[in-house]
């Protein structure tokens, strides 16, 4: 068995059905593969969906129940159940192009240790212009979208995102698995840095990641996600994740050279706008190369800049919440500092 496709899911039966249909339509490949649906304590019809679909699946389709809630539990259980040498992790609200499965080839040939797909939006409705304007360099992390064009290329492992990626099965346990992510809202303080933390370890050990434009996954963007409130919620969660990372860094659980993640968006126009608001007017004039443009940003920010400032505010709110929670809850601190979350 070369490939195991792992789909952690929770109460998303209606989306899971479409994903499975797209997997059934994958182009023929000269190797054996399987699909493993990990039901993370669903209360909807997820089990029935898998049972009905299994009657028509061209490959082995297995259903596994994982009662511990949290995306990392689902991913770890899937890795333990997988028979394949390579794992493909998918979000349950993706739909795949027929050539998606080709993404396994770079790992199979020994060129890559992990491969991220081209992750395109599956808009539920016409997206507002302000939202599409937030996409920078083909990426929008808040919606897990990544389109780097038609060229197969090696990328920073920090850009291997969870909606659709392939990885050697052995690396999951070797690198200590995933940190907490996708936790229920009432347990948000237990959120970690998910696949980002995993791929920090991946990068530290010198493994390579590639982007395959032929492996296309369409990630659902619902109407709910096309709102500033939703993006602020995602930013709030990212603040918690980065607080988690910083605490682990301070306790020596991350290599120092991995913390300076390549986040080009932090050098965007909003960065300078934020600096402008923190500096005195005199210092501002002395430090800026393009005074007219920066003054325009300071006094007349565009809608995009205003939105980004709201997202930054939500991010810092999440950061502060988590930092305070850890300082007042010894059990939470012990949880954050666990060396591994493998079951």
List, as one string, the DSSP characters of 25-43.
Answer: TPPP-SS-EEEEEEE-S--
Which run of H or of E encompasses 19? helix 13-24
Q: Do the beta carbons of residue 115 and residue 155 sit within 8 Å? A: no
Mean per-residue pLDDT, 315-319 = 95
d(CA 262, CA 266): 9
Mean per-residue pLDDT, 333-341 = 95
Whether 264 shows a pLDDT value over 90: the answer reads: no
Of 305, 304, 264, 266, give the one whose Cα is nearest residue 129.
Answer: 304
Q: Going from the N-terminus, what domains does the chain have, and what CATH number goes with each? A: 3-224 (3.90.550.10), 249-336 (no CATH)
Of 175, 156, 117, 160, give the one whose Cα is nearest residue 261.
Answer: 156
Whether 316 shows a pLDDT value over 60: the answer reads: yes
pLDDT band at 277 (very low <50, low <70, confident <90, very high): very low
User: pLDDT tens for residues 70-122?
Assistant: 999 999 999 999 999 999 999 999 999 999 999 999 999 999 999 999 999 99
Percent of the chain clearing pLDDT 70 (strictly above): 87
pTM of the model as a whole: 0.88
d(CA 22, CA 343): 31
d(CA 160, CA 114): 8
Tokens for 302, please give them. Answer: 């565009």
> The tokens 């992510």 sit on which residue?
181
d(CA 244, CA 223): 30
Mean per-residue pLDDT, 138-164 = 96
d(CA 297, CA 303): 11
Percent of the chain clearing pLDDT 90 (strictly above): 81
- How high is the pLDDT of residue 225? 97
Kind of pairing between the strands at 94-96 and 60-65: unpaired
Q: Do the beta carbons of residue 193 and residue 241 sit within 8 Å? A: yes
Widest Cα–Cα separation across the chain: 72
- How high is the pLDDT of residue 298? 59
Q: Do the beta carbons of residue 209 and residue 115 sit within 8 Å? A: yes
User: pLDDT tens for residues 2-34?
Assistant: 999 999 999 999 999 999 999 999 999 999 999
d(CA 259, CA 267): 16
Of 92, 76, 86, give the one whose Cα is nearest residue 166.
Answer: 86
Which run of H or of E encompasses 197? helix 194-204
Tokens for 104, please give them. Answer: 């396994």
d(CA 120, CA 213): 10
Q: Exposed (0-12), middle (13-18) or buried (19+): which is 126, by Cβ within 10 Å? A: exposed
Whether 156 shows a pLDDT value over 80: the answer reads: yes
């Amino acid at each position: 068995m070369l490939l195991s496709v792992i789909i952690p899911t929770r109460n998303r039966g209606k989306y899971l059905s479409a994903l499975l249909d797209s997997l059934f339509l994958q182009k023929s490949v000269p190797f054996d593969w399987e699909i493993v649906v990990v039901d993370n304590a669903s209360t909807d019809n997820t089990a029935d969906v898998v049972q009905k679909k299994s009657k028509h699946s061209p490959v082995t389709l297995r259903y596994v129940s994982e009662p511990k809630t949290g995306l990392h539990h689902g991913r770890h259980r899937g890795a333990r159940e997988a028979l394949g040498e390579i794992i493909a992790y998918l979000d349950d609200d993706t739909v795949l192009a027929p050539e998606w499965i080709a993404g396994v080839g770079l790992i199979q040939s020994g060129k890559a240790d992990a491969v991220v797909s081209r992750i395109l939006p599956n808009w539920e409705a016409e997206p507002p212009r302000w939202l599409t304007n937030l996409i920078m360099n083909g990426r929008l992390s808040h919606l897990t979208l990544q389109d780097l064009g038609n060229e197969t290329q090696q990328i920073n492992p920090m850009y291997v995102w969870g909606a659709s990626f392939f990885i050697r099965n052995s690396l999951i346990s070797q690198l200590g698995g995933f940190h907490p992510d996708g936790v229920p809202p009432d347990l948000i303080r237990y959120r970690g840095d998910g696949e980002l933390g995993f791929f920090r370890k991946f990068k530290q050990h010198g493994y390579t990641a590639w982007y395959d434009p032929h492996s296309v996954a369409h990630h659902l963007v619902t109407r709910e996600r096309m709102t500033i409130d939703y993006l602020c919620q995602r930013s709030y969660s990212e603040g918690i994740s980065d607080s988690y990372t910083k605490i682990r860094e301070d306790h020596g659980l991350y290599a120092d050279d991995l913390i300076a993640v390549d986040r080009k968006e932090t050098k965007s126009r909003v960065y300078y706008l934020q600096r402008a608001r923190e500096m005195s007017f005199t210092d501002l004039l002395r430090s800026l190369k393009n005074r007219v443009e920066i003054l325009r940003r300071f006094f007349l920010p565009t809608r995009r800049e205003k939105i980004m400032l709201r997202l930054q505010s939500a991010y810092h709110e999440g950061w502060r919440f988590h930092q305070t929670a850890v300082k007042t809850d010894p059990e939470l601190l012990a949880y954050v500092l666990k060396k591994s979350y493998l079951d």
